[in-house]
Amino acid sequence: MLCVLPAASGSTIGVFLLDLVCRKGGEKSLKRRVKPRLLDYLKGQMQNHAAVALVISCLAPPPFSFGASIAVASAFQYPRLRLLFLVFGARAFRYSLVGWAAIYFGRRILRIANSAEFMWFMGGFITFCLIGSIVSIINWVRVGRSR
């Protein structure tokens, strides 16, 4: 749990740097990258629900576009200090949950990971992935040659 504050601080510093870049580009830079209809939708959502959207993006796991949410909020000039406090608080909460889960489930997960059944499962899964990758590469090379 000692890592929560440094992790949340590091994330907040990264958001600050992204904010510096995106705030300077502003809405004009978004107009070049985003369709007008989507831009209008994003602007409306940021005006009405920016804090909720930012907190959800801070709490969501990695496939969710955290950086894009920050970039849009900064481009639409969301107040910087509020943005940084939201990010710090939400990230500290998320990292606390992850730390708690590691403490609570850690030994159980290690017991499962060290079992013979899990080793066999992972061996089969790795084999499946390797075969799938080889088939994909072969198909990719064939399509490339036929063109």
Domain spans in the chain, listed from the N-terminal domain onward = 4-109, 115-146
Structure tokens at 19: 């904010």
Which whole-number Å values give the CA distances from 142 to 1, 136, 146, in the listed order? 51, 10, 6
What is the pTM assigned to this prediction? 0.69
Q: Are residues 78 and 46 in contact, defined by beta-carbon separation less than 8 angstroms?
A: yes
| Rounded average pLDDT per 10-residue block, the chain, 147 residues | 88 94 82 78 82 90 82 88 95 93 89 93 96 93 76
C-alpha to C-alpha distance for 107 and 127, rounded to whole angstroms? 27
